[in-house]
């Protein structure tokens, strides 16, 4: 069995909800996949999904976080988890969203500063927790964005952490996709999400590791 932990691209945005790369891996490998991917999630949610779903019979955990972790937000904006979700958290996220819009409108981002949604240090700790408690792990690089190009500098830093972790732990491998997507915009259907060709590419790279 395979456990999938990731964000919108592992989930499969738009019409790819059942045809994302992790779904393609399930079909080609004949291994059952429990896909815990969810849109807008970070490695913080990943920890919770892992704790709630991981069992010893999982032979592989595929991890794909970094896109939202690396996002820049107002330094003093609270974070409301997407998992486990409930009415109060949904309401809280709406309030926080309005708060961040007002802060940006009044120039507080420039005045007081911004931060990554999940710091590099916390990101490393979150991924390492999953790694240390799994039999085998594949870490999927975060692909670059076609908009907000300045964010790609941060995405590279998060990918670098994945590379370091893969070098440190023998049961961990990294699936490198950043350069592929950087070189070929035809792998996207918008500025962030993979199209059929993008999902096929990632699925093949995972299959090669298997």
How far, in Å, CA of 88 to CA of 206, rounded? 37
- Please tell me which of 7-16, 103-112, 160-169 the model is most confident about, judged by mean pLDDT: 160-169
Task: Kindly tell me if the per-residue pLDDT of 24 is higher than 80.
Answer: yes
Instruction: Report CA torsion sign: 8, 76, 161, 153.
Output: positive
pTM of the predicted protein model: 0.94
Instruction: Using DSSP, state whether 42 is helix, strand or coil.
Output: coil
For the chain, percent of residues with pLDDT exceeding 70: 100
| Burial class of 81 by CB neighbour count within 10 A (0 to 12, 13 to 18, 19+) | middle
- List every span in the chain annotated with CATH 3.40.50.1110: 2-71+119-209
The residue behind tokens 């594949």 is: 138
CA R_g for the chain: 17
**pLDDT for residue 206:** 97
Q: Note whether 36 and 65 are within 8 A (CB).
A: no
Mean pLDDT, rounded, of the chain: 95
Q: Which CATH number fits domain 2-71+119-209: 3.40.50.1110, 1.10.3720.10, 3.30.2350.10, 3.20.10.10?
A: 3.40.50.1110
* Model confidence band, residue 30 (pLDDT cutoffs 50, 70, 90): confident
**pLDDT for residue 149:** 87
114-169, pLDDT tens digit by residue? 999 999 999 999 999 999 999 999 999 999 999 988 899 999 999 999 999 999 99
Task: Kindly tell me if the per-residue pLDDT of 98 is higher than 80.
Answer: yes
The residue behind tokens 């395979």 is: 2
**pLDDT for residue 56:** 85
* Model confidence band, residue 18 (pLDDT cutoffs 50, 70, 90): confident
Q: Give me 199's structure tokens.
A: 């999902």
The residue behind tokens 């790609």 is: 152
* Model confidence band, residue 93 (pLDDT cutoffs 50, 70, 90): very high
Pairing of strands 137-140, 114-116: unpaired
Nearest to 19 by CA among 3, 30, 35: 35
Residues in the chain: 210
**pLDDT for residue 78:** 94
How far, in Å, CA of 181 to CA of 64, rounded? 15
**pLDDT for residue 17:** 74
What does the pLDDT average to over 85-96? 96
Helix then strand count (H, E) for the chain reads: 9, 7
What does the pLDDT average to over 45-68? 95
**pLDDT for residue 13:** 86
């Amino acid at each position: 069995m395979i456990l999938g932990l990731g964000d919108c691209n592992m989930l499969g945005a738009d019409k790819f909800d059942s045809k994302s790369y992790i779904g393609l891996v399930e079909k080609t490998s004949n291994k059952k996949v429990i896909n815990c991917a969810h849109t807008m999630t970070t490695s913080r949610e990943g920890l919770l999904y892992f704790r709630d779903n991981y069992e010893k019979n999982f032979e592989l955990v595929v991890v794909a976080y970094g896109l939202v972790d690396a996002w820049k937000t107002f330094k003093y904006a609270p974070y409301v988890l997407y998992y486990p979700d409930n009415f109060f958290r949904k309401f809280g996220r709406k309030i926080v969203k309005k708060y961040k819009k007002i802060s940006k409108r009044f120039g507080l981002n420039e005045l007081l500063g911004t931060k990554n949604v999940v710091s590099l240090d916390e990101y490393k700790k979150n991924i390492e927790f999953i790694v240390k408690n799994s039999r085998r792990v594949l870490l999927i690089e975060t692909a670059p964005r076609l908009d907000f190009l300045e964010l790609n500098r941060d995405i590279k830093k998060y990918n670098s952490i994945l590379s370091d972790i893969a070098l440190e732990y023998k049961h961990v491998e990294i699936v490198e996709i950043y350069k592929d997507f950087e070189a070929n915009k035809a792998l996207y259907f918008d500025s962030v999400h993979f199209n059929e060709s993008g999902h096929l590419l990632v699925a093949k790279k995972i299959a090669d590791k298997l």
